[in-house]
Chains A and B, each alone.
Chain A
Amino acid sequence: MNKPVESGLVTEATDITADAKKRYSAGVLKYRQMGYWQPDYVIKDTDTLCLFRITPQEGVDPVEAAAAVAGESSTATWTVVWTDRLTACDSYRAKAYKVEPVPGRPGEYFAWVAYDLILFEEGSIANMTASLIGNVFSFKPLKAARLEDIRIPVAYIKTFKGPPTGLVVERERLDKFGRPLLGATTKPKLGLSARNYGRVIYEGLKGGLDFMKDDENINSQPFMHWRDRFLYVMDGVNKASAATGEVKGSYLNITAATMEDMYERAEFAKELGSVIVMVDLVIGWTAIQSMANWCRKHDMIMHMHRAGHGTYTRQKNHGVSFRVMAKWLRLAGCDHLHTGTAVGKLEGDPLTVQGYYNVCRDSYTQTDLPRGLHFDMDWADTKKVMPVASGGIHAGQMHQLIDLFGDDVVLQFGGGTIGHPAGIQAGAVANRVALECMVKARNEGRDIKNEGPQILQDAAKFCTPLKQALDTWKDVSFNYTSTDTSDYAVTPATA
C-alpha cells in the first residue's frame, strides 16, 4: 500500500570505504561516500532503527542529506579524520539504508537509519537521545528534521527496568479492574491555598473519582508551600477512602529545582502514605530515570505529565514525534503518561493518538502506518504504561473515549468535574456513572460508538448529576484540524 511514486532519487551505493587510501585522505568527502549510505545494508536484530523525516535545503541531494543524518547522529565530523583508522569505525557509523519521498509532502523525505548496539550505553535514554536528537537537528544542510519513529531492539530494551509499577500491578494495588480509571486535575491551577486545595481533592474523590492530580506547574509557589499541599491533600485522600471503601490517590507533583529537593518531596509523600507521585517531563531524562528508581524502591506509582512536549512534538516537519517520546519514556520508567484525548482541547488526530496508546500498552507493537507506527517492535515483556487522557473532555464524550482507548487508560476530567453546576462531588458522580454505564453497555454487546448518547441519556434518568453535566456541556467540542497527522490514509486492509 501507499507505494511512493517514482522519485528519481539516485540511491545506488556510493561509499568508497573499501578503498582505505581514498576514504581517509585528508579533505572533505560526501557523507554518502564515507560509508553512511548503504542501500544494501542488511538490518541486524540488535540494531536500533530510526525513521527521520528530513527537509533538505534547496539543491541538497536527499540521499546525501540522509547519509549526513546518519553521520552526524553517530561518528562523523565535517571532514575526514585519520584517527577513524584507530577504531573499528565501520561499527560506529550509522547507516542510512533507505530514502523515500514523503507522500503528499513535496520537499520532505523519509530516511531510514540503522545504529549498531555498541553505540548506546546500556540503560541510558540520556545517552541514546544525545546521539539521535543531538547535533544532527541543528545541521545546516537540512531545513528541518523530525524523528518520526524508532525500533529499539530487544537487546537494548533488556538493559532498562521500565515502569516502576506497570499498569497491571497498579490495578492490583488499587483494586480497580475492567474499567478506565477516573481522575481530575485540581483547578484553578494556581492560587488556591493548601487548605482550599485539599477541599477539591476530598470532594472529587468522595464523589467517585479514583485520582486527583496536581497540575504541571504546581510546585511550591508563594501561595502554597509543597508541604502544606501534601498534608492537606493526604487528609482529603484518606478521608475519601474511608467514605467510599476504595483505594484513592492524588498525584503529588514532586517536580523541583534539584534532585535533592525532589527526593525530599518524594520521601514526604511516602511518609504520608501516598500511593503515587508525579513529575513533569521537563525534569529531563536523567532525573526521570532516577525518580523511577526511587519509585521502584518505595512501591510508588510514577505519574508523568508531558509538560513541554508540544514544543518539539507538534509540528510535522521538525522535532521528535510523541510516539518516540512514549517509547523512550516507557523504557526510562513511568507508570502514567499523558498521551492525548483525540476529542479534547489539545492537539491530536485520533489515529495518531491511538498509535501512542499502542506504544504504551503493547507487548508487541505492529507496523500500522495510519497510526504512525513504522516498525514492528517486541517490547520483551517490559511493563506497560497506563496512558492518561486529559484536557478538555467531559462526561458526554464517554462513549467516544472508551471506544477509542478501551479500559486501560486514566480519563481525567478537570473542568468536567470541578465545573459541574451542582458542585465537585456531583461532577465526579456524573463522570463515574457515565463511565460505569458505558462499560456495562459495551460488555453487553451494545454499539456504544453510535448508541452512546442514548445510553448516557438513559443513565441520566436515574442520575441527576449526569443529566446536569450532559445539559451543561452538550455542545462543547474542539473540532480543529490537527497539525500532526498520519502521512498514510486508512485503507480497508488496515482499518
Chain B
Amino acid sequence: MMTNPTGRITQGQFSFLPDLSEAEITLQIEYGLKKGYAWSVEYTDDPHPRNTYWEMYGMPMFDLQDAAGVMAELKECRKTFPSHYIRLMAFDSTRGIESIAMSFIVNRPAKEPGFGLVRQEVQGRSMRYTVHSYATDAPEAERYSG
C-alpha cells in the first residue's frame, strides 16, 4: 500500500479517479480513434517512473477503427497478466507531434508495493537519489504473485 492520497501509483491520465468501467474505457478509446490516434496495450511488472518501455502486448493497432477491437486486445492482455500493470497508449503521428497523445492505467496488482527512496550522501550536504521499485526485489515473473 502506497502512502500517497490515492494509495496507489498515480501515473497516467486518470489515476485519481475511481477505476474506469469497460464502458468508460471504450469512450476514451473512441475519443482517440476520432482524433486519428493508434491505440496500443502495454504491460509491466516494474512501474518505476523512469521505466519507459513497458512490454508491448502486440503492435500499436494502426488500422483499427473500432473500439471493440482494442477492448478485445485489452481483455486478452488482462487474462494473460491479471496482476500486472496494464496501460492503454494512443499514438499521434501528426508532423510536429509524433508522440504519445493519451496514456492511462487500466489494470493494477491487488497490492501495490510502491517505491523506496535511497539516499546516498555525497560531498557536503549533497545527496544522490535513487527511486527503488520494491517489486523488482523479486525476480521477473514472480512479482505480485501473492
Contacts and interface: CB of A to CB of B under 8 A. Distances in A.
A365 to B, nearest CB: 13
B100 A241 contact: no
A168 B11 contact: no
Contact of B126 (A206, A241, A272, A439): A272
A245 to B, nearest CB: 4
B99 A172 contact: yes
Nearest to B94: A363
A168 B102 contact: no
Contact of B100 (A172, A239, A426): A172
B144 interface: no
Interface string A390-433: 00000000000000000000000000000000000110110011
Contacts, number: 127
Contacts of B6: 208
Contacts of B100: 171-172, 177-178
A447 to B, nearest CB: 14
Nearest to A384: B96
A28 to B, nearest CB: 51
Given A208-B10, A244-B9, A443 B28 contact: yes
A126 interface: no
B116 A242 contact: yes
Interface in B96-139: 96-104, 114-117, 125-129, 131-132
Contact of B127 (A179, A234, A426, A465): A234
B72 interface: no
Nearest to B98: A168
B99 A171 contact: yes
7 contacts: A175-B103, A179-B13, A238-B129, A243-B115, A245-B49, A381-B95, A426-B5
Given A168-B98, A242-B114, A242-B132, 5 more contacts: A177-B101, A178-B103, A208-B16, A244-B9, A444-B24
Interface of A: 168, 171-172, 175, 177-179, 206-208, 231, 234-235, 238-239, 241-247, 271-273, 363, 381, 384, 425-426, 428-429, 432-433, 436-437, 439-440, 443-445, 459, 462-463, 465
Task: Give 4 closest A-B pairs by Cβ, nearest first.
Answer: A178-B102, A245-B9, A238-B129, A443-B31
